[in-house]
Structures are given as structure tokens and as C-alpha cells.
Amino acid sequence: ASEDIIAGNVSKYIVLPAGYCGQPKKGHLIFDACFESGNLGRVDHVTEFEYDLFIRPDTCNPRFRVWFNFTVENVKESQ
């Protein structure tokens, strides 16, 4: 289904390129929304500079996804 249920927030989720093995390097982004008001449910790697982010619906009104709150770490210069 195109509207998969996203139950929880990502927690220090390291996004690695397809086929990459080994320790994360600078530029392999780390997303985190495991805190009060965090609402990032899923991250898909598209390219080095593009990611698809899936925001969880608001707890009190599941029809709306009008805000987002998450952190990103491990960026490299020019990324």
C-alpha cells in the first residue's frame, strides 16, 4: 500500500547507500526523532543529496502532517 502505517519514530537511524558495507562515513546521515514532538517515521536514501522523508501523522489528528521535527547529524561540508 502506498500509505504504509508508520508506527514509531526513527531513532539514531543511519542511512547508508544501497550495497554499502562497513562503518558509516562522514556524509552518511543520521536521522533522529526519538524525542518529545519528534515525528519522522521513515527515511529512504535516494542519492547522496536526496532522501525521501516520511512524517508520521499528528497524534491528535491523523489527517494532518503539516509540521516536522527531527535532527540530522554526520553531514559533510557541501552536503
Residue 64 is predicted with a pLDDT of 75
Q: Domain spans of the chain?
A: 8-18+27-78
State pLDDT tens for residues 3-47.
555 668 899 999 999 899 999 999 999 999 998 888 999 999 999
Is 0.75 surpassed by the pTM of this model? yes
Q: What is the pLDDT of residue 53?
A: 94
Give the count of beta carbons closer than 10 Å to the beta carbon of residue 5.
8
- Residue of higher predicted confidence among 48 and 64: 48
